[in-house]
Amino acid sequence: MRSTRVVLLLAALGAYASGAAPSSKESSKQLGAAAHKAGTPFGDDFAGSSTCQMCHEDIYKNFRKSAHTFVETDKRGGWDEHGCESCHGPGAKHAGSATAEDIRNPLKLTAVETDKTCLSCHLNTAKHSERISSSHMKDAVACTSCHTIHGNGPAGLVARGAAQVNSLCSSCHKDVAVQFAKPFRHKVPEAEMTCVDCHNPHGSNRKAMVQSFAANDVGCVKCHGDKRGPFTFEHAPVRFEGCATCHEPHGSSNPRMLVRQEVKSVCLECHSNMPAVKTPAVGSPMGVVPPAFHDLRSPRYQNCTVCHQKIHGSYADRNLLK
Ligand code: HEC
Ligand code: HEC
Ligand code: HEC
Ligand code: HEC
Ligand code: HEC
Ligand code: HEC
Ligand code: HEC
Ligand code: HEC
Ligand code: HEC
Ligand code: HEC
């Protein structure tokens, strides 16, 4: 699996080499060809990583320990011994002048340009195919907002531990982080769960970049498998509108993380002949009105889920009673 990915990445390198260094088109072309001809020298614009090492020893050493060391050592990629310049562009001029103006620093580029640098190799890997549609892309949150290449950020190149991931996300999404202080919530602050369990930071086809499971189910059913179905008798909103119609996924003041204090209020927003109140996710998709014997003044009929126990879908009863 891993080696297939590397080969795919490396295959992308040829394309990168011929497109991403406009200041030195000739040598870049040469470089593209070099991917297939081992031993072809890089152009004069290029310095080689050992030159960079002379002045940036710490970064060089860190780099050789990071996942990106592949770029430096794998001859097939075309950046053999020139890994630094795969992101920073040709560096001979800078190696001579030692001034910042002569070298590309991804942090100083626009988010789009930074992303292009990274995606020249990372496009179409499993986690990035949908980045085009992500809110992080639209709102100019670049790859480098979350990934520190030289491992000098708090989480290194990539946040992996649950606590690290959550603090990364919470550093910008403070409003969301506080929702996890409510009484009924998922155990995110305890790092038993992460934001990435439910969201794909690289984007997804679903609203709010929500993770999907088995291609087209909501990510929630990865853990709440009993709600997955398919059921003989579906409850339409569970299937078509999603869990967040009735639950507040981050945290709620209401038991079961419901969007309303009482269960019946959740139900009656759709199952009544009153004008519909908008629900969080979709507006007002009305359900059928409860039959007349439901006397809502009587306490017996107020706790809907005492009778309608299979509220997420039933294998046995079309009224979701069992
Ligand atoms: C002769 C020493 C020397 C060599 C060789 C050298 N650098 Fe630098 N580099 C520097 C100095 C000094 C600075 C700080 C410049 C400044 O802040 O004005 C710097 C800064 C940088 C920066 C940051 C620029 C910025 O915008 O802040 C990058 C990126 C960089 N170097 C990459 C490289 C790469 C890649 C190579 C190899 C191709 C390389 N350097 C080779 C001395 C060197
Ligand atoms: C995968 C892309 C990539 C590669 C390969 C890479 N860098 Fe960088 N470099 C970056 C990014 C992005 C930054 C901005 C800071 C950060 O994210 O860590 C950066 C920042 C720098 C800086 C500025 C100082 C700093 O820490 O902010 C220097 C100097 C530098 N790189 C040198 C090098 C050298 C030397 C190599 C090779 C050993 C290298 N880089 C390889 C992407 C890369
Ligand atoms: C020249 C090709 C190339 C470029 C450009 C490049 N990468 Fe990578 N990247 C790789 C390879 C090869 C790997 C290692 C294989 C793997 O884990 O998928 C890797 C791995 C990673 C990883 C995973 C590390 C891990 O521990 O699993 C992250 C995160 C990453 N790169 C981010 C970036 C970012 C951000 C940029 C842009 C600043 C960037 N890369 C630019 C080739 C590249
Ligand atoms: C909002 C924060 C964020 C942004 C923006 C972001 N990433 Fe990530 N990335 C993460 C997190 C968190 C992980 C770890 C996910 C995990 O462990 O499941 C990750 C994982 C990765 C990995 C490892 C792949 C893997 O399968 O685990 C790569 C490669 C990567 N990112 C590259 C990129 C590139 C390239 C970009 C820009 C196009 C980017 N990322 C933008 C947060 C981000
Ligand atoms: C550098 C700041 C920053 C970091 C770090 C960051 N985000 Fe974001 N995120 C944003 C911005 C800006 C937006 C777009 C505006 C908004 O919707 O709040 C956004 C949007 C989102 C959205 C989509 C909102 C929507 O309605 O489409 C989700 C979900 C999200 N981020 C999750 C995450 C997760 C998960 C992480 C951690 C892996 C993370 N973010 C890390 C800045 C950040
Ligand atoms: C249990 C799953 C789950 C977890 C854990 C989770 N989210 Fe969400 N999040 C969702 C769902 C589902 C939505 C969409 C809600 C909707 O459709 O109204 C959402 C919406 C969002 C939004 C956009 C709407 C808003 O409320 O601003 C952002 C931003 C966001 N989440 C960030 C985060 C961050 C940051 C974390 C971690 C601190 C996190 N989420 C943890 C499931 C989750
Ligand atoms: C990574 C696994 C995981 C994911 C993904 C997940 N949950 Fe949960 N959920 C749990 C666990 C574990 C609990 C109960 C333990 C606790 O945290 O108190 C829980 C509790 C709940 C509860 C409260 C149950 C009760 O008895 O009070 C609701 C409602 C819920 N989740 C809905 C959702 C929704 C909606 C989503 C998707 C937006 C989701 N969950 C995604 C693991 C997950
Ligand atoms: C039509 C509204 C509605 C939708 C949509 C919905 N739920 Fe629920 N859910 C409820 C109600 C009401 C309860 C409380 C039942 C009770 O009174 O005990 C509940 C309870 C729960 C519980 C805790 C009790 C149990 O049965 O395990 C979990 C976990 C849960 N829901 C997960 C989900 C997931 C995951 C989804 C999406 C696949 C989802 N819910 C969609 C209404 C809904
Ligand atoms: C977001 C709107 C919505 C919410 C909230 C909602 N429902 Fe529904 N419900 C529907 C729709 C739509 C149908 C399908 C009606 C149809 O088949 O015409 C349905 C079907 C049903 C059915 C089966 C009726 C039939 O003829 O198929 C029952 C029973 C039911 N809901 C009970 C409840 C209960 C109890 C609650 C509260 C826990 C609830 N619903 C919450 C929209 C909702
Ligand atoms: C004491 C048990 C009980 C309680 C409590 C209860 N129901 Fe029902 N409900 C039933 C039974 C039994 C049926 C099936 C009637 C039939 O077979 O036609 C039903 C049917 C329904 C239907 C389907 C109507 C149709 O035309 O298909 C809806 C919608 C409904 N109930 C909603 C609710 C709501 C909303 C609540 C809470 C306010 C609630 N129920 C509370 C027993 C109950």
- CA–CA distance, 277 with 255 (Å, rounded to integer): 21
Residue to substitute in 165, 166, 202 for testing ligand 4 pocket (most ligand atoms within 8 angstroms of CB): 202
**168 is a domain residue:** no
Q: Pick the ligand that lies closest to the CA of residue 233.
A: 9
Of 24-33, 82-91, 243-252, 282-291, where does mean pLDDT reach its minimum? 24-33
Of 108, 136, 167, the domain-final residue: 108
State the chain's mean pLDDT as an integer: 81
**177 is a domain residue:** no
Range of the domain at 80: 2-108
CA of 282 to the centre of ligand 10 (A): 23
Q: Is residue 208 within 6 Å of ligand 7 at its C-beta?
A: no
Q: What is the pTM of this model?
A: 0.90
Each residue's pLDDT tens digit, 304-314: 999 999 999 99
**179 is a domain residue:** no
- pLDDT-based confidence at 19, cuts 50/70/90? very low
CA of 211 to the centre of ligand 9 (A): 25
- pLDDT, mean of residues 172-180: 96
User: Is pLDDT larger for residue 276 or for residue 100?
Assistant: 100
Phi first, then psi: what are they for 277, rounded to 5°?
-90, 140
- CA–CA distance, 77 with 32 (Å, rounded to integer): 10
- pLDDT, mean of residues 15-27: 36
Each residue's pLDDT tens digit, 221-232: 999 999 998 999
Of the candidates 156, 147, 149, the one whose C-alpha atom is nearest the C-alpha of residue 83 is 149
Q: What percent of the chain has pLDDT over 70?
A: 79
Q: What confidence score (pLDDT) does residue 122 get?
A: 86
CA of 46 to the centre of ligand 2 (A): 16
Each residue's pLDDT tens digit, 48-78: 999 999 999 999 998 988 889 888 888 887 8
Q: What confidence score (pLDDT) does residue 289 get?
A: 85
| Sequence-distant (≥ 6) Cβ neighbours of residue 1 within 8 angstroms | none
Exposed, middle or buried, 294 (CB in 10 Å: 0-12/13-18/19+)?
middle
**17 is a domain residue:** yes
**216 is a domain residue:** no
Q: Is residue 147 within 6 Å of ligand 5 at its C-beta?
A: no
Domains in the chain, number: 2
Of 108, 139, 174, the domain-final residue: 108
